Chains A and B, each alone.
Chain A
Amino acid sequence: MATKRRTTILVVLGLAAAILVAIWKPTVLIYGVQQAGLYAAIAIPMGLVLGIVHIVNLAHGEFMMIAAYATYFACRATGMDPLIAVLPAAAVTAAFGWVVYKLTIRRALKAPELNQLILTFGLGIMFSQLVNLFFTSQTRKISLDYVSASVTIGETSFGVWQFVFVAVAAAMAYGLKLFLTRTTLGKAALAVGQNPKGAAIVGIDVDRTYGIVFAIAAALVGGMGALFLTRSAIFPAVGSPFTMKSFSLVAMAGIGNIPGILGSAILLGIAESLLRAFRATRGWADIVFFVLIIAVILGRTLKWRKS
Chain B
Amino acid sequence: MILDIDRLETGYGKLKVLFGVDLKVGKESVGLFGPNGAGKTTLINTIMGMQKPWSGSVKFDGLEIGGKATHLVARSGIALVPQERELFPGMSVADNLELGAAWVPRAAGIAKRQLDMVVELFPILKERLRQYVGTMSGGQQRMVAIGRALMANPLLLILDEPSLGLQPSIVAEVFERLALLKKDVAILVTEQNVRESLKAIDRGYVLENGAVALEDTAAGLAKNPHVVSAYLGI
Contact = CB atoms under 8 A, between A and B. Distances in A.
B152 interface: yes
Interface residues of B, number: 26
Contact of A202 (B50, B85, B99): B99
A194 B89 contact: yes
B82 interface: yes
A202 B102 CA distance: 8
B4 interface: no
Contact of B71 (A194, A200, A256): A200
Main secondary structure of the interface of A (DSSP, over half): helix
A255 to B, nearest CB: 11
A205 interface: yes
Interface in A180-215: 184, 187-188, 190-191, 194-195, 197-206
Interface in B135-167: 148, 152
Given A200-B74, A203-B74, A188 B102 contact: yes
Interface in B81-100: 82, 85-91, 95, 98-100
Contacts of A205: 69, 71
A191 B71 contact: no
Contacts of A201: 48, 70, 74, 80, 82, 86
A202 B74 contact: yes
Contacts of B87: 195, 198
A205 B69 CA distance: 9
A206 B71 contact: yes
B104 interface: yes
A194 B87 CA distance: 8
B75 interface: yes
A195 B86 CA distance: 7
A202 B90 CA distance: 16
A203 B77 CA distance: 10
Contacts of A184: 102
Nearest to A197: B86
A140 to B, nearest CB: 44
Interface of B: 48, 50, 69-71, 74-75, 80, 82, 85-91, 95, 98-100, 102-104, 132, 148, 152
20 contacts: A1-B132, A187-B98, A191-B88, A194-B90, A194-B91, A197-B50, A198-B87, A200-B69, A200-B70, A200-B71, A200-B74, A201-B48, A202-B100, A202-B152, A203-B103, A204-B71, A204-B103, A205-B69, A205-B71, A206-B71
Which A-B residue pairs are the 3 nearest by beta carbons?
Answer: A203-B103, A198-B86, A203-B74
